[in-house]
Amino acid sequence: MGRYSGKTCRLIFMLVLTTGFFVAELVSGYLGNSIALVSDSFNMLSDLISLCVGLSTGRIARRSRRGPRATYGYSRAEAVGALSNAVFLTALCFTISVEAILRLARPEPIDDAQLVLIVGTLGLAVNLVGLLVFQDWGSCCNRRPPAPMPAPAVPSSASAGEAVEAELIHNTAFLL
């Protein structure tokens, strides 16, 4: 099967794409003096962090080691990762809101509007690609109900599957 599953490959692909575009948006936002691009670049940074958290907690959750220190294994790592991502997003939202209020009080002109428009459009395209990459096209065309799965004896984790599902929900909410 290889080193990475299909879902992990999708996470890594979006990690690389989002990293490149985060840098591009951040640089062009400061060059064009656009708070919209800078705030969208930090949205890309939050995507990066959630992708990294999804990859790392998925790996940790797949560990099957149990003992007195980890009675349920490491399946709760994803919940801790989601909590840390939520705390980061809350702090980021507060910071962007403060900067936007300051810009309302003292507006500044956008230096390079064409650059801002092009990079903003490409940012939308990257989010659309993320939506398409994380969409499970096989499940939408499956007409048969899935076979019932036996109940596991130990709580299990879908690891990379849950991370992909979380990214799909995040990208859909962003596009709306």
User: Higher model confidence: residue 143 or residue 61?
Assistant: 61
Query: 21: closest CA among 114, 118, 108?
Result: 118
Residue 170, both tokens:
């995040």
pLDDT tens, position by position, 130-172 = 888 877 665 555 555 555 555 554 444 445 556 666 666 665 6
Whether the per-residue pLDDT at 64 is higher than 70: the answer is no
CA 143, 128, 82, 11 dihedral sign is positive
The predicted pLDDT at position 164 comes to 60
The mean of the pLDDT values for the chain is: 76
The predicted pLDDT at position 156 comes to 45
The DSSP output letter for 100 is H
**Ranges of each domain in the chain:** 6-137+156-175
pLDDT tens, position by position, 29-50 = 888 888 888 888 888 888 888 8
Buried b (16+ CB within 10 A) or exposed e, 81-109: bbeebeeebeebeeebeeeeeeeeeeeee
Q: State the Cα angle at 107 between 104 and 112, rounded to 5°.
A: 130
The predicted pLDDT at position 118 comes to 92
Question: What ranges in 34-176 are assigned the alpha helix state H?
Answer: 35-62, 77-105, 113-134, 137-140, 160-175
In this structure, of 10-24, 59-73, 85-99, the range with the lowest mean pLDDT score is 59-73
The predicted pLDDT at position 26 comes to 92
Whether the per-residue pLDDT at 1 is higher than 50: the answer is no
Query: 56: closest CA among 85, 88, 93, 20?
Result: 85
Q: Name the phi and psi angles at 112, rounded to 5.
A: -130, 85
The predicted pLDDT at position 161 comes to 59
SS3 150: coil
The predicted pLDDT at position 146 comes to 54
Whether the per-residue pLDDT at 174 is higher than 60: the answer is no
Residue 71, both tokens:
């009675």
